[in-house]
Structures are given as structure tokens and as C-alpha cells.
Amino acid sequence: MDKDVNEKLNLLAKLQDIDCEMDAIERLKGELPEELEDLQDRLIGYNTRIERIDEDIKEIKNEISTYKVIIDEAKELTKKYTDQRKGIRNNREFDALTKEIDLQDIEIKLSEKKIKENKNLIKEKEAAIKETNTLIKNQKADIDLKKKELNEIIKENEKQEKKYTDSREKIAKKLDKQLFESYTNLRNNLRNKLAVIVVHREACGGCFNLVTPQRQVDIRARNKIMVCEHCGRIIAGIDEPEIEVKTTK
Ligand SMILES: [Zn+2]
């Protein structure tokens, strides 16, 4: 047995074990982080919607003010023409002034109609704001709930996670850089994230292909780091309970 190889294999097995535990914690968090992000994005969307509606309302209010000015002017003109008409004996001039007064009356009625329409529009917009605010309120409650859930999971596992991270760093330092990188690359490319396995019932614990008796002898000997010839996983040993490698899928 090569002492150096033996040490490396033990470290790799330990590393895999820690990573399995950390993966399990991540699975507990599940979809919560993504869901939270999604909810927060939607919240931003709702707030933007409200800002836009507020802008619309401001514009509509400006329009209403313009119509009010038009009405005031028309009323003044009506008063002026009515006064002028009092002193008129001439039919033609009298009719001309009456026509002007009628025109101002139409202008006033039209503006009043527009104001009424715009006021209804504001009511609609305000209802939309109210509706969106309800959505925001519900969304915020949902976010709070999910945050609480996630924080609980984080808090529950904080110490453990810290312990794992520390151990992981220590192992990474002890392993040579190249080996650590191969492990990481291998792990990242595997669906079940098991880069280090043991041989179980003559088969690779990762891909379940048979390991030849000669290779089993080499694995047992621990003179060099053996990898599965089918899947490339690092073989830490042969079904030996003292090697803590998780082979569950
Ligand atoms: Zn394999």
C-alpha cells in the first residue's frame, strides 16, 4: 500500500461524503431560492404598474384642469355677449350674438362631458391601483412566508454547513490541486454528483459496470488512484464499511 495514495483516497472519500451532505441541505432548500427571486421580480413589476397608473392619473387631472379653464372662458364670453345683446336693437347683430352664446354653451357642455368621462377614467385607474395593491400585499405575505421557511432551513443547518465548509477547505488544502480539480470537474459533470465511489458486488458503484478481478486487486492494493474504466469515477475501495462513501443515488 502506498501511504500517499491511501491518504489521498481517504481524503477524496471524505470530500465526497461532505459534498453529499451539503447537497442534501441544498435539496432541503429546494426551489425556495428561485421561487423567492421570481416573487420579488413580480413585486417590482407590480410597483412599476402602479407608478405608470399614477402618471396616467396625473395626465388626466391636467386634462380636466384644461377643460375647466375652457369652461371658465366660455362662461365669461357668454356673460359678455349676453350684456352686449341687451343694448342691441338690430336683428342681425342680435342673432349673431345669440349664435355666439349658443356656441359657448356647446363648448361648456362638451367640456363638462369630457370632465365627466375623465373623472370616470380616474375612478377606473384608482380601482386598478387598489387591485394591484392587493396583489402586492398578498405577494409580500407569500414572500415573507417563503423567506421565513428558507431562513429556518438555513438556520437549522447553519452550524452543520459551516462545519462542512471548513472540513472541505481543509481537505482541499491537503489534496493536490490537480486532484481536487479533477474531482470537482468530475462531480460537476455527473448527474448524481458522485465522483468517488466504491466497488459493490464486483461492480462500479456509479455506473454499475463490472470491475475486472485484476482491477479489483489493484484497487485493493492502493498503490495508485484507480478510476472506473467505464465512467471515470474515482474508486475509493471495495465495499469496505470503514470507508465512508455514500453510494445511495
Ligand atoms: Zn463506473
pLDDT along the chain (249 residues), means of 10: 93 96 92 94 96 98 98 97 91 94 97 98 98 96 95 93 95 92 94 94 94 95 95 91 52
Ligand 1 centroid – CA 213 distance (Å): 15
Largest CA distance in the chain: 131
What pLDDT does 88 receive? 86
**In angstroms, what is the span from residue 228 Cα to ligand 1's centroid?**
5
User: Is there a contact between 111 and 67 (Cβ–Cβ < 8 Å)?
Assistant: yes
Residues 189 and 148 in one domain: no
Please indicate, yes or no, whether the overall pTM of this predicted structure exceeds 0.75.
no
d(CA 81, CA 83): 5
Q: What is the pLDDT of residue 135?
A: 95
Q: Are residues 37 and 153 in the same domain?
A: yes
Q: By residue range, what is the domain housing residue 141?
A: 31-158
Number of compact structural domains in the chain: 2
CA of 162 to the centre of ligand 1 (A): 31
Please give the grid coordinates belonging to residue 91.
336683428
What's the 224 CA to ligand 1 centre distance in angstroms? Answer: 17
Residues 124 and 56 occupy one common structural domain = yes
Q: How far is the CA of 179 from the centre of ligand 1 (A)?
A: 18
The reply to whether 59 and 118 lie within a common domain is yes
- The single-letter code of the amino acid at 47 is N
- What local confidence, expressed as pLDDT, does residue 245 receive? 54
**What's the CATH number where 192 sits?**
1.10.287.1490
